[in-house]
Amino acid sequence: MDFQNKVVVITGASSGIGKALAEEFAKKGAHIAIAARQYVKLCEITNEIQEKYKVKSLAIQADVTQEEDCKNIINQTLYTMGRIDILINNAGISMRALFRDLDLEVLKQVMDINFWGAVYCTKYALPELINNNGSVVAISSIAGYKGLPGRTGYSASKFAMNGFFEALRVENLKTGLHVMVACPGFTASNIRNVALNSEARPQGETSMDEGKMMTAEEVAHKIIGGIASRKNTLIMTAQGKLTVFLQKIAPSFLNKLVYNHFTKEKDPLIR
């Protein structure tokens, strides 16, 4: 697929996978509209992209939990760029707390960002994407296939995303819309630093060894390849593929593996 002069909208693009995607698409000649709450950071990224790759780049301040903000992301992009070819629903937040200990506000915030943010943006971009035979991408997780301890809200949001986008794909089998659910493995980023604790506050530090994880740039490269091939589902690691397989054939065995894995976290929630 030739991305030259395509227009790509990326939410949650001020850091991590979103930022890496913006740069990778720009390298391929695509014009970029990036959205997040941190407007100054977005402007720095867009300025750098424009100088390095000579493509159009638009920064849009937005909180994806707000429907009007999501509508504005799409409207601003159409007004400035004239079209939208790809929407990547990347904005997301994690959490780390046992369900018995947490304030229910934790689950609400995670669902509002991860699930409803993707729904809102997709709703307003859909007519344009269908018109252009475009792609809508959901950045999900293996947590959307297997519930993870201490991540009840995160897993719930990713299961919801997977179901929503699978249904959307079936609805659009004959419209030309490409729908892809992308599931990275554990990725080195600040998502675990800002993960919500039991009181709905950022926990402040990661609970895992970030050095052994995929880089955001590796994830971005795989996602772009998946879009180019118009894949339905993109599970990026052998561990992820094994998890999905075991969930189908040996779920009780997988429960024990997952439990044991999370007992090895820093300051584990389960022992």
Report helix, strand or coil for 47. Answer: helix
Name the token pair of 197.
């604790």
Name the token pair of 39.
């407007």
Q: Are 116 and 65 in contact (CB under 8 A)?
A: yes
Q: Are 84 and 176 in contact (CB under 8 A)?
A: no
Alpha-carbon span 24 to 220, nearest angstrom: 7
- 167 by Cβ neighbours in 10 Å (0-12 / 13-18 / 19+) ranks as exposed
Please identify every residue annotated as catalytic: 154
- 238 by Cβ neighbours in 10 Å (0-12 / 13-18 / 19+) ranks as exposed
Alpha-carbon span 18 to 35, nearest angstrom: 9
Alpha-carbon span 263 to 271, nearest angstrom: 5
Angle at the Cα of 155 from the Cα atoms of 153 and 161, rounded to 5 degrees: 105
Q: Give the DSSP letter string of 198-266.
A: TTSSB--S-SS-GGGSBPHHHHHHHHHHHHHTT-SEEE-SHHHHHHHHHHHH-HHHHHHHHHHHHTTSS
Q: How far is CA 79 from CA 29, 43, 73, 76, 187, in A?
A: 20, 18, 10, 5, 34
